[in-house]
Amino acid sequence: MSESILPLLVEADDLEPLIQDERIRIIDLCKLDTYQRFHIPGATHLDYPRIISVKRPAMGLAPDDEILEDVISSLGITPEHHVVAYDDEGGGRASRFLWTLELAGHEQFSLLNGGLHAWANEGHPMDNTPVNISPSSYHVHRNDTPLASREYVLQHLEDPDTQLLDVRSADEFLGRRRFAERAGHIPGAVNMEWTQAIDQQRNMRFKPDEELLQLIESTGISKGKEVITYCQTHHRSAHTYIVLKHLGFKRIRGYSGSWSEWGNQPDLPVE
């Protein structure tokens, strides 16, 4: 498809008339028991651990192409499908899936703004029937543009054209809470906790664009530079990646290993 059916950030009101559209594939990344109780009609469930690779101590790595092909094919997704993802926890899991799709070379996708919270709380139709999809034969065309490896981050530490955005809590960033061998943050990184982008009063939607831009610019992050987002396992920072993409940032990468990798490497610099 040359033109997207839906914007990157789609509202429940705009998705509802299209849930039966064969061009759209809706993927549910809620907890399984939630999916079994209620989900968007036609949505296929995806277990979040299937889209992350673990090589301890690094917990959030991107799967290899073979695994990606297997997962995407099992969801019945073809290159022609526009994929809409949602979850029940603020958008982190769904965003990580969309980032992974982009890594696989898939271009047409959207995040449901507010996820299941917005859909259910605002009276949209729900279903509890499991959806069984005929698998496709998806071929990954790897696109490494969204990915920052440990080596890539290390190479760009002194690059004035690259900025690091750490979206963990302030306590993690400052080293007061430690979830790796070492505490602190990658040198030069600035901090903005990922939940600051979420509007708790509007069913977990993104905050208004103007407010988001002010929030991000207040950290010193600039649209004119490359921005690398990270957290502990590129779960929270995948949400921030989609926020930046929605706001029109053109050069964004997600560090998939994030602090679970960096903070456990004794030879890497830490602040």
List of E strands, the chain: 9-10, 24-28, 44-45, 53-55, 58-61, 82-86, 109-112, 147-148, 162-166, 190-191, 198-199, 205-206, 226-230, 252-255
pLDDT at 1: 41
pLDDT at 75: 98
Q: Which domains does the chain have, with CATH numbers?
A: 9-121 (3.40.250.10), 147-262 (3.40.250.10)
At residue 3 the predicted structure's pLDDT band, cuts being 50, 70 and 90, is confident
231 is catalytic: yes
Q: Find tokens 């979040």 and name the residue.
A: 48
pLDDT at 28: 98
Contact 95, 241 (CB under 8 A): yes
Global pTM reads 0.97
pLDDT at 220: 97
Q: Express each pLDDT in 242-268 by its tens digit.
A: 999 999 999 999 999 999 999 999 999
Q: Could you give the CA distance from residue 263 to residue 265 in angstroms, rounded to a whole number?
A: 6
Q: Could you give the CA distance from residue 234 to residue 252 in angstroms, rounded to a whole number?
A: 13
Q: Could you give the CA distance from residue 141 to residue 196 in angstroms, rounded to a whole number?
A: 34
At residue 4 the predicted structure's pLDDT band, cuts being 50, 70 and 90, is confident
Q: Could you give the CA distance from residue 157 to residue 268 in angstroms, rounded to a whole number?
A: 11
Q: Express each pLDDT in 50-83 by its tens digit.
A: 999 999 999 999 999 999 999 999 999 999 999 9
What is the average pLDDT score of the chain?
Answer: 97
Q: Is 70 exceeded by the pLDDT of residue 2?
A: no
Characterize the bridge pairing of strands 205-206 and 226-230. Answer: unpaired
Q: Is 50 exceeded by the pLDDT of residue 102?
A: yes
Longest CA span, the chain? 53
- The 10 Å Cβ neighbour count of residue 17 is 8
At residue 101 the predicted structure's pLDDT band, cuts being 50, 70 and 90, is very high
Q: Express each pLDDT in 146-194 by its tens digit.
A: 999 999 999 999 999 999 999 999 999 999 999 999 999 999 999 999 9
Q: Which residue among 231, 242, 244, 252 is the active-site one?
A: 231
Q: Could you give the CA distance from residue 100 to residue 108 in angstroms, rounded to a whole number?
A: 12
Average pLDDT (105-133) is 96
Q: Could you give the CA distance from residue 1 to residue 78 in angstroms, rounded to a whole number?
A: 11
Q: Is 60 exceeded by the pLDDT of residue 134?
A: yes
Contact 18, 5 (CB under 8 A): yes
